[in-house]
């Protein structure tokens, strides 16, 4: 790899602000947002670096073909598209731009919670149909609730900061951190969150350990009926289990920016049944995996990526 002009393949669609940032920093790049997997496998050996967003899976086969690859940058927070074990074995540095969209994710989380608690979407639909039901849309105040945040990285911390401004009592749990509580959240064990929280907000990556973490058993461990917020990865929550929780009343409502299967035209029969229940429920708010996708975060993510590249080299 050239000390001054590493060659980078950009394999996913990116905000155009990235290109001028890379050029100013002295990087050479090839922009191939529609590159096929076959072409990727054929061409990756010629690049020192790879930048992806949400489309390109960097598995062991890709990494083995990348004979001179030295780094992979992910324009976002999660790293579940990358085979981290193989990358580490090959000595390939992996980094992400989690700082770039943390404010967007935090605002989206609070926005969904406020919308659900105040029945804003439900009330809007009813008024448009000529229904003026004030009592049926009486809401709850966010500041009256205890919120449990699981995962206290960039997104969890930014969310806690905003929730504290509403007067919420915020508990946080992260099994990989120590001494991480502070002004905006009280460090807690998961059992304490299950005992005391009115709201559970997930801010954890998708790993073999967290896949389908929120199942029937997990939900039943909560002492009180609670609201569930998932803006992390859809596969963390079993949607059939969530439906059963909503039906039983153990889950009071759900805010879902992500789904177990986001190809909603290709759901399995079980997934379709769960999705039909969720989309017809007034206790559920759905958005299409856009919590971190603001106009500002697109630019900020690129700034974080390029700064990390500069530090790396």
* 3-state class (DSSP) for residue 142: helix
162 is catalytic: no
Cα–Cα distance for residue pair 308/51, rounded to 1 Å: 12
Cα–Cα distance for residue pair 306/14, rounded to 1 Å: 13
289 is catalytic: yes
Cα–Cα distance for residue pair 193/223, rounded to 1 Å: 9
96 is catalytic: no
Cα–Cα distance for residue pair 175/152, rounded to 1 Å: 9
Kindly name the residue from 70, 196, 289, 303 that is annotated as catalytic.
Answer: 289
Give, to the nearest 10 degrees, the angle between helix 120-128 and helix 102-117: 60
Beta bridge partners of 287: none
Kindly name the residue from 262, 270, 279, 296 that is annotated as catalytic.
Answer: 262
Handedness of CA 204, 283, 195, 145 (dihedral sign): positive
Beta bridge partners of 146: 169
Name which of 187, 185, 278, 192 is nearest 239 in CA terms.
Answer: 278
Alpha helix segments (H runs only) across 177-256 = 190-196, 216-220, 239-248
Name which of 98, 51, 100, 49 is nearest 73 in CA terms.
Answer: 51
User: Is residue 200 within 8 Å of residue 176, measured between CB atoms?
Assistant: no
Kindly name the residue from 233, 244, 252, 300 that is annotated as catalytic.
Answer: 233
Q: What are phi and psi of 169, to 5 degrees?
A: -85, 120
DSSP, res 145? S
- Which whole-number Å values give the CA distances from 121 to 99, 136, 186, 294, in the listed order? 30, 13, 31, 21
Annotated active-site positions, please? 233, 262, 289
């Amino acid at each position: 790899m050239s000390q001054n002009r590493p060659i980078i393949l950009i394999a996913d669609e990116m905000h155009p602000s990235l290109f001028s940032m890379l050029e100013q920093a002295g990087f050479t790049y090839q922009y191939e947002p529609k590159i096929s997997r076959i072409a990727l496998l054929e061409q990756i050996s010629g690049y020192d670096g790879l930048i992806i967003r949400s489309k390109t899976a960097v598995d062991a086969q890709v990494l083995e073909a990348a004979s001179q690859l030295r780094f992979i940058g992910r324009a976002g927070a999660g790293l579940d598209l990358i085979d981290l074990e193989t990358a580490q074995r090959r000595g390939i540095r992996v980094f992400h731009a989690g700082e770039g969209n943390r404010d967007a994710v935090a605002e989206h989380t609070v926005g969904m919670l406020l919308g659900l608690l105040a029945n804003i979407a439900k009330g809007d639909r009813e008024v448009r149909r000529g229904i003026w039901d004030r009592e049926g849309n009486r809401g709850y105040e966010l500041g009256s609730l205890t919120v449990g945040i699981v995962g206290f990285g960039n997104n969890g911390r930014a969310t806690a900061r905003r929730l504290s401004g509403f007067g919420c009592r915020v508990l946080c749990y992260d099994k990989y951190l120590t001494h991480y509580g502070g002004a905006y959240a009280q460090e807690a064990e998961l059992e304490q969150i299950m005992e005391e929280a009115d709201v559970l907000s997930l801010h954890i990556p998708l790993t073999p350990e967290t896949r389908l973490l929120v199942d029937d058993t997990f939900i039943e461990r909560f002492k009180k009926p609670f609201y569930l917020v998932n803006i992390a990865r859809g596969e963390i929550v079993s949607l059939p289990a969530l439906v059963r929780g909503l039906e039983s009343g153990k889950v009071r409502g759900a805010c879902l920016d992500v789904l177990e299967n986001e190809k909603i035209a290709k759901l399995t029969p079980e997934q379709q049944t769960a999705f039909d229940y969720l989309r017809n429920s007034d206790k559920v708010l759905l958005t299409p995996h856009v919590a971190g996708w603001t106009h500002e975060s697109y630019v900020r993510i690129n700034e974080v990526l390029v700064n990390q590249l500069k530090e790396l080299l």
